[in-house]
Chains A and B, each alone.
Chain A
Amino acid sequence: MGTNGVKILVVDDDPFVREMLSFILESNDYLVVSAENGQAALEQCRSCPDINLVVSDVNMPVVDGIELIKTMREEKFEIPIIMVTSVTDISVAVDALSSGAIDYVLKDEGIQETITITVKRALEKHRLKLENIKLLQDLAAKTREQEETLSYLNAIISNMPDGLLVTNSQTCITLVNPAIVNMLGLPDGDMVGRNACEVFSSQQASLYQAICYSCDSPLTAEVPLADDRIGSAVVAPIFTQNTASGRQDKFIGSLMIVRDVTSEKEVEQMKDDFISTVSHELRTPLTSVLGFTKVIRKKLEEVIYPQLQQSDAKTTRTVEQISECIKVIVSEGDRLTNLINDLLDLSKMEAGKIDWKPENNHVDELLLRAAMPMKPLFEQKGIQLTLPEGKNLPLVCCDTDRIIQVVINLLSNALKFTDHGSVSMQTSVVNDPESNSSMIRFAIFDSGIGIAEDDRIRIFEKFRQVGDTLTDRPKGTGLGLPICKQIVEHHGGSIWAEAAPGGGSAFIFTLPVDGRHQP
């Protein structure tokens, strides 16, 4: 192998020159092959692709040096060629260079040194040239790649069904997609570069506000769209991340995404109307059924019964039966009323249409207020109800009526499923490991039938009552616990069921002490 395995083709019709050049180059550790004219050289180049350099005479029979260069260029050989010219032939050297020779060497006494220097220089020059070409190709490929990525992203943004608008930190628009132009009915012409406050209509002023105030956290706003449609806009800040320099994230602008929510709104409205209508259509006949039943009961008790012959056993039994029947009608009517109320409550909560009224409350007071109306029912059934001993618990911020509703719900459940024994309430302060904050823990224990482990989650689902639905008499609306769950979770707490020590069930819920989750 020669210097770096470089292979040089020496072309000259004079065998003496060929020998001499070959000898000089070989003694410099190059690998040398030779040819006696341009034609032979071309054939060698075609058959031997590993030739790195050609050193060629100009004047040769068949195909001369200049012709050789031209043909090689035509045939796209990327092999540098050094021309060896005689001293008298300087113009030929110029010809050779303009035809594409990389350099030339004069055939004089100094050729021994000049040829090695020129070869070395030519090889280096050629290497640099190839490197340069490669760099340019790489650059072109990178540029193409980036252009493709850019046009890919542009295509995505242009075809997004949601509207997109981006502003810089001075609220000047830097990007809009066609969807947002249509949705917001933005004025014609190029939006980019205009200030956001100029392009929104007066009804859309909230969007500009959102852009101005979104530097810290994302904001959501409802916005009227063109053609009487309704949109939901989310505006979020854009930060650049510069971890290398150790600088903090820099705010560079805001992005806004607008989604057409007209049909969702319509469906929501339809659902509201439906529930409202159903509620109305159910309540009206129920008013008659319950109302007339109560009127009948009153008339019977006040007018009819006193006139009956109480001594007659059959009459007495009939009066008892009628009273019992009326009692069933009234209690079932009340149950139906509660079901309608619960349904309305739940659908309002799920739709987020409840006006929550947060107040600071003493825990003991809350429980007392909930237990008050339940006391007679417990006494009636002979179940003892124990309230927690007065502890100095922190105030809890909650919607008083709603939390009382939760406690009453849990108490009436406990009463429903407890035939003997007692129901007790306990309170304590616990730490919530997730948020690392203090929570008030409310627990209601009963000594009733208990709940199978598999059912403890299901009971918080809508219309789920544990037990055989065909044989067991339903004991409520099946919506009480889902409502409790909605209320407690809205306050940032949680609710669950456990097995109580010594049988029975425990229902536990938590409420945050601080006002983080103000309802």
Chain B
Amino acid sequence: MSKVLIVDDEPHIRYLLELTLEELTEEGVELISADNGETAIEIIRDELPEIVFLDVMMPKMNGFDVCHTVKHEMGLQDIYIVLLTAKGQEFDRQRGQESGANIYMTKPFNPDDLLQMTKEILGL
């Protein structure tokens, strides 16, 4: 069973992502949420999700650091990480790439595009 992890400190955004990806649950995909980076790391270690939607600006541990930890320290290169950021600054994009994220999406994103992308990654 595929797992998708949603990490954002904003409950609205988490809910939006859950609603957007809701129809995937009918295909047996499990949606998991976390509201900070530390919890996200724990869930990733225990549940090994296929995809992680990761907000950049979060308390305790930011998205760049979570991504770097997962990809480089935990050696989980196969986990597809989508960095979601509200910042459109060029250097953020660069930092995102350096941290090893697979793709970098700027808020506001189009829910349909996001759903489509998730389906493709999961091979559905």
Contact = CB atoms under 8 A, between A and B. Distances in A.
A279 B86 contact: yes
- In the A-B complex, the 7 residue pairs with the smallest Cβ-Cβ separation, listed nearest first, are A283-B86, A287-B108, A287-B107, A280-B86, A291-B16, A288-B12, A290-B108
B111 A340 contact: no
23 contacts: A276-B87, A280-B57, A280-B87, A283-B108, A284-B86, A287-B16, A287-B107, A288-B10, A288-B12, A290-B108, A292-B12, A292-B19, A294-B111, A295-B16, A295-B20, A298-B111, A298-B112, A337-B108, A340-B88, A344-B88, A344-B89, A353-B90, A354-B90
A298 B113 CA distance: 13
A348 interface: yes
Contacts of A294: 110-112
Contacts of A337: 108
A321 interface: no
A286 interface: yes
Nearest to A296: B19
Interface of B: 10, 12-13, 16, 19-20, 57, 86-90, 106-112
A290 B16 CA distance: 10
Contacts, number: 63
Interface in A292-345: 292, 294-295, 298, 333, 337, 340-341, 344
A284 B90 contact: no
Given A286-B107, A291-B13, A355-B90, 16 more contacts: A276-B89, A279-B88, A280-B57, A281-B86, A283-B86, A283-B106, A283-B107, A288-B16, A289-B108, A291-B20, A291-B108, A291-B111, A295-B19, A333-B108, A348-B89, A353-B90
Contacts of B106: 283
A222 to B, nearest CB: 18
Contacts of A292: 12, 16, 19
A358 B19 CA distance: 42
A280 B89 CA distance: 10
Contacts of A344: 88-89
Interface string A157-182: 00000000000000000000000000
A380 B26 CA distance: 38
Contacts of B108: 283, 286-287, 289-291, 333, 337
A514 B2 CA distance: 55
Contacts of B13: 284, 287-288, 291
Instruction: Identify the interface centre among B19, B57, B87, B107: most chain A CB within 10 Å of its CB.
Output: B107
Contacts of A288: 10, 12-13, 16
B108 to A, nearest CB: 4
Contacts of A333: 108
Instruction: Identify the interface centre among B13, B88, B108, B110: most chain A CB within 10 Å of its CB.
Output: B108
